[in-house]
Amino acid sequence: MKFTAAVVALVAFICGPCFAAAPPNIIYFLVDDMGYADCGFNGGKDILTPNIDKLAKLGAVLKSFYVQPLCSPTRAALLSGRYPTHTGVYNVVTPGATWGLPLDERTLPQALGEAGYTTAICGKWHLGEFRAEYRPSQRGFQHQYGHMMGNLDYNTHLRDGKLDWYRDDQPLKEEGYTTRLIAKEASRLIRAQPADKPLFLYVPFNGIHSPFQVPTNYAEPYQNLPKLRGTVAGMLAAVDEAIGQITDALEENGMRDNTLIIFCSDNGGARAGKGTMNTPLRGGKGGIYEGGVRVAAFATWPGKIAAGATIDEPMHIVDWYPTLLKLTGAPTAQKHAPDGLDIWPVLTQGAKSPHDAILLHGTTLNVKALRMGDWKLLLPASDKMELFNLVKDISEKQNLADAQPDRVKAMRARLDEMTKDAVPLGGPLPGADKE
């Protein structure tokens, strides 16, 4: 873990109690299909993301933050704190599919609602909608706005010719570019939030997922880039503007100082090298190489998470569930124990990762990987094991499996132990290209 001088200067302060006088507001920004190196704070060079970069600079950049390789599995992992092996959400939930995040999974908004939070989602759900009980308003969100599926038209809000735009789970016809509408609604909720009640606001943008659509004014600064890259750049610029507007609303309502802001992508960049940039990672969306599961991420909370930190300790999105429950004092009793672990000491006290191993599961039962310390073992579709030292070889170019048989054996045993109780796939395997 690397710390700047500012971090060191604040260690004495942040090692004290991590609870504010009042429970913190929590804003979770989830960007869809963003590349590891698309934002400036994480190495991006050709897209301007000033609002995102400003927030990252005010907090801790998480350099080894893992998610699932596709959309629905990452959302399930965040909201349940559990790996796909325990929820069955290995792949995307398609429109009308007769499954979703299992109903016996306690969700993060349910837990925070029990702790007295206002809970709201503005953006993309993607965890089931074929029956009312699978939809956001019955999974813990007191306010819902946005869409149930992915790949909808940004302007008409149609997916496969059908309207996919809702308020409180009821169909809603309105005009506007979805990224702008999400920002407007999120800002409205913030401004309406009572001062004596904490807010959990989950903002899963559909930007920068396909279809690749963006108002001309966002794309104009990027006409020098190849067409697809320029369009994606404009889409990310729109997301950046939206995040700036939402952050401004926090400031205006006097909420910023007691708000934990979390930011990440839902998986590695799509069409890597053409639409998005995952440099220096190998692969992209849908795969279990680093480019598919390791994403740009940060967390910021003034006075609690020191500004200017860079944290290299491995963490997984399942960790936010137990971390936020503990941080907010939410009840922890539930049917299924989370797979995630408390990462607050890592964020605030320079602690090591609480994991001895992190599971990185693919979209089918036989494709999976394991991160243990500096090492990563992969069982790709070919079933030929691969081993990489990620500290020395972040791009996963040199397969050391043959040179390290004892390590492979030990890591394979740990991987088998972690997946021995894997549940079946939650539903038929859809194509991953259209989500």
What are the beta bridge partners of residue 66?
294, 316
Q: How far apart are the C-alpha atoms of 76 and 413, rounded to whole Å?
A: 26
Q: How far apart are the C-alpha atoms of 152 and 129, rounded to whole Å?
A: 15
Q: How far apart are the C-alpha atoms of 203 and 244, rounded to whole Å?
A: 13
Strands (E), 20-151: 25-31, 60-62, 65-66, 118-124, 143-147
Catalytically annotated residue among 39, 86, 122, 126: 126
Asked if 39 is an active-site residue, the reply is: no
Question: Which two three-digit tokens encode residue 19?
Answer: 């609870």
| Helical packing angle, 320-328 and 71-80, nearest 10° | 30
What are the beta bridge partners of residue 143?
120
Write out the H or E segment, with its range, that includes residue 358.
Answer: strand 358-361
Question: Which two three-digit tokens encode residue 219?
Answer: 């794309």
Handedness of CA 310, 312, 315, 317 (dihedral sign): positive
Catalytically annotated residue among 39, 71, 122, 264: 71
C-alpha distances out from residue 371 to 110, 166, 269, 303, 368, Å: 30, 39, 20, 31, 10
Sorted by sequence, the CB contacts under 8 Å of residue 198 that are 6+ apart come out as 22, 23, 24, 25, 26, 115, 116, 117, 118, 328
Q: Are 82 and 318 in contact (CB under 8 A)?
A: yes
Asked if 126 is an active-site residue, the reply is: yes
Q: How far apart are the C-alpha atoms of 116 and 121, rounded to whole Å?
A: 16
Pairing verdict, β 25-31 and 294-295? unpaired
Task: Please list the active-site residues.
Answer: 71, 126
